[in-house]
Structure 1
Amino acid sequence: MERPCLSRRHALLLPATAAGLGGLAACAPDDQGFGTAEPLRASDGEISLDEVPENASTLVNFGGQEPFVLLVRGSGEDLTAYSGYCTHNGCALSQEGEELDCPCHGSRFDAATGEVLNGPATRHLPEVRVVVEDGAVRRSS
């Protein structure tokens, strides 16, 4: 009689192995998804508009419940802000040039518009309200 490819003993070990690997993954370093692009840190909940380059996008950590925001600046005080989290599973995004990458499942977003470039995400990044007052940018309530 020919033995099956997967013995009963090995089949019973599969759940234990999966649980062990899951535990190791939980102990992995927490890079918050930013890869090589560190966000600007807002002190007292605001940053200077001068810290955000014109005609570019910048990830900013404003602190609070959902701290990471993508600021897209045109010229002057022309500013749009998007959530810094993937719409697929809520992972923090990393900025790689003109795109935002999700380290969890590979979704990609346009850093200027928040539109999905590559799934599994299907919804663009939601806008976040920010205000510019006296040369400072802060989240609006």
Structure 2
Amino acid sequence: MSGTQGTARIVTRRTVVAAAGAAGLGAALVACGGSDSDAPAGSTADKPASGGDGGGAGEILAKTSDIPEGGGKVFADQGVVVTQPAAGEFKAFSSTCTHQGCAVKDVSAGIIHCPCHGSQFSAADGSVKAGPATQPLPAASIKVAGDAITLG
């Protein structure tokens, strides 16, 4: 075996290992990405209500009547989840799970659910209710004026 053949095998092995690692990372990102295609047909939970650019302060997210009491809605394009833990009380948090960065998908019975690994967060304060996440969802800034909920 010549020195060139041995080097070629090492480069080939490195290339294969690097490609496999990149493929694994791509698969992990897809698994934790939370695409809009997972939303039920006709769902507006993951779409901006205003048709805006997806995240500007002051952008109307929803009407207060769109956020169910004890539940909430995820606004994936803006990276927030808006909840109504009690009648007339609206809260907002980052929609990115603190465990591995997956997008949370829904809110029901006072709990924000992450579909990737099962973490659960309080709709009232973003605290962890069930792991594997150990850190709460960071609060996000919203304003409620009349029946409109806006970012900012």
Q: 1:90 to 1:33 in 2, by over 3 A?
A: farther
Q: 1:125 to 1:84 in 2, by over 3 A?
A: same
Shift, 1:139, TM fit: 1.0
- Are 2:123 and 1:111 aligned? yes
Aligned residue in 1 for 2:65: 50
Q: Is the 8 A contact 1:34 1:95 kept in 2?
A: no
Q: Is the 8 A contact 1:69 1:82 kept in 2?
A: yes
What TM-score, normalized by structure 2, do the two folds share? 0.60
Q: Deviations over 1:6-56 (max 9, x none)?
A: xxxxxx7x9479448527727958643895575253214212112122x22
What TM-score, normalized by structure 1, do the two folds share? 0.64
RMSD over equivalenced CA pairs, Å: 3.5
Structure 2 unpaired stretches of 5+: 1-12, 53-58
Q: Which amino acid aligns with 2:35?
A: Q
- Are 2:44 and 1:32 aligned? no
Matched-pair identity in %? 31
Q: Is the 8 A contact 1:59 1:70 kept in 2?
A: yes
Q: Is the 8 A contact 1:62 1:139 kept in 2?
A: no
Aligned residue in 2 for 1:22: 24
Mean CA deviation greater in 85-94 or 38-47: 38-47
Shift, 1:137, TM fit: 0.4
- Are 2:127 and 1:120 aligned? no
Instruction: Name the SS for the 2:71 alignment partner.
Output: strand
Q: Which amino acid aligns with 2:105?
A: S
Cα separation, 2, equivalents of 1:126 and 1:86? 9
Number of matched pairs: 125
Instruction: Name the SS for the 1:56 alignment partner.
Output: coil
